[in-house]
Amino acid sequence: MSDFVLPVDKPVGPTSHDVVARARRALGEKRVGHTGTLDPFASGLLLLCVGRATRLAEFLSGLDKTYIADVMLDAFTDTDDRTGQRITETDAWRSIDEARVRAALAHFTGTISQVPPAYSAKKVQGERSYRAARRGEELELQPVQVTIHGLRLLHYEPPLVRVEVDCSSGTYIRALARDIGAFLGTGGYLLELRRTRVGEVGVERAVTLEQLEDRDAVSGHAMRPLEALRHIPRVDVDAVTVDRLRHGQRVPIEQPVEEGTVAVASDNELIAVATMKDGVLHPRKVFSEA
């Protein structure tokens, strides 16, 4: 299997790009990419797209995610996480009880407006925000809408709060930690972060960095393209339709399928990703070879 999606459990330390580079060497494949960055201090699930499966990245990067986050309420930092400088320290957390913490978590559940961290890759007037922040300059970052599907308290040992976060893609957990602290009137920054789920894939499905060298381990954990797209509606087609899609033709489909992006399959293999509109398949990316 040369084209697949591989779940990898990134440890604390390396960047997401480091993991991609190691996978390229271990797998002997130049075409490797990830579908969502994790900061070096964070650990957990990265989905690597290998071979022609790199063309699937855009359909995976927007999936919901789950994190386990340790939030400290005794300070703010300039990066909103433990790697930054402590800019405000406080003992206000000593007066915060568990009930108030739970109320704060409830406040941030749902669709919320979130200002990205100053040290982020967000662009303002064409420049990455973190570059300006490193120069000591402040850029005015605009709030974005994100959705917190679930925010559960796992452990409370003041000033530490451990939470599990189910959220939409694009959510900054660092910003969430900062905002929880601000809402409580304490400090707030991210101490530890672990991504445990991307879409329907859990970190328990992942290989370690060391297992990238083990062909059997990689084969046992890899997902075929069709499996990786199981969150997208599936359309099964016959050989005639396959041939037409291979040539980039639009194909009418009689079976009832909701409009939008669909995974087109034949013999349990991904043939194409297409757009279903008015009962017609419009191929976007074809994976089946003639």
Lowest mean pLDDT among 112-121, 229-238, 263-272: 112-121
Q: Is the confidence at residue 130, as pLDDT, over 70?
A: no
Q: Which of 39, 70, 74, 80 is catalytic?
A: 39
Same domain, 70 and 179: yes
**pLDDT tens per residue across span 182-204:** 999 999 999 999 999 999 999 99
What's the average model confidence in pLDDT over 94-102? Answer: 97
pLDDT at 143: 87
CATH number, position 247: 2.30.130.10
Q: Is the confidence at residue 92, as pLDDT, over 50?
A: yes
Same domain, 132 and 83: yes
What's the average model confidence in pLDDT over 208-223? Answer: 96
Same domain, 123 and 176: yes
pLDDT at 43: 98
Same domain, 71 and 147: yes
Active site residue 278: no
- When computed from its CA atoms, the radius of gyration of the chain, rounded to whole angstroms, is 22
- Alpha-carbon gap, residue 60 to 238, rounded angstroms: 26
Same domain, 74 and 118: yes
Q: Is the confidence at residue 134, as pLDDT, over 70?
A: no
Q: Is the confidence at residue 206, as pLDDT, over 80?
A: yes
Same domain, 166 and 213: no
Count of structural domains, the chain: 3
Look at residues 177, 209, 227 and tell me which one is the last residue of a structural domain. Answer: 227
CA 193 vs. chain centroid, Å, equals 13
Same domain, 75 and 32: no
**pLDDT tens per residue across span 15-62:** 999 999 999 999 999 999 999 889 999 999 999 999 999 999 999 999
User: What average pLDDT does the structure give for the chain?
Assistant: 91
Mention every residue, 6+ apart, whose C-beta is less than 8 A from residue 45.
7, 8, 9, 10, 195, 196, 197, 198, 201, 202, 203, 206
**pLDDT tens per residue across span 220-230:** 999 999 999 99
Domain that holds residue 41: 4-62+201-227
Share of the chain above pLDDT 90, in %: 83
pLDDT at 288: 72
Look at residues 198, 218, 252 and tell me which one is the last residue of a structural domain. Answer: 198
Q: Is the confidence at residue 139, as pLDDT, over 80?
A: no
Same domain, 32 and 21: yes
CATH number, position 102: 3.30.2350.10
Same domain, 50 and 99: no
